[in-house]
Structure 1
Amino acid sequence: MAQSGKGKLNYRCPSCFMRDLDIDMFYDKEKEEYYCLRCCYTGTEEDVKEKNQMARFRYRNMLKRYTTFE
């Protein structure tokens, strides 16, 4: 998904991404937090990074091909 350029760096919304929706978050400079337009998720950059790391853990073996099952 292309970055819209409204903030520093757009991250994927962790709440939407856990439901298999790929939605970019936007940055609010006044509140210094990220927010999602689709759901009501808001959070700091550290919180968003932490939750996105959980999503990476979920999909860590998605591109790995298993040929033997032991």
Structure 2
Amino acid sequence: MQWRDLPERFGPWKTVYERHRLWSADGTRERLLQQVQAAAAGEIHWDISVDSTIVPAHQHAAGARTQPPPNERSTG
């Protein structure tokens, strides 16, 4: 999602972006998250789903050889 696509109820996207950037840099965002998690202890259930089919990988990321294979026949 792009910053410019935020719903209007959050206010101007530049304000939201700047606040996010500053709060991430000074640790405010992390402290807020910790407080919310502490207040909701036992009520938060994390469900994580990763779909690797949407992550393109370069052909060499699949374990391609970095050196040519050794010769099976010696030429001596």
TM-score, shorter chain, exceeding 0.5: no
TM-score by length of 2: 0.30
Q: Going by fraction, where is helix more abundant, 1 or 2?
A: 2
- Greater radius of gyration (CA): 2
What TM-score, normalized to structure 1?
Answer: 0.32
Larger RCO (alpha carbons 8 Å, 6+ apart): 1
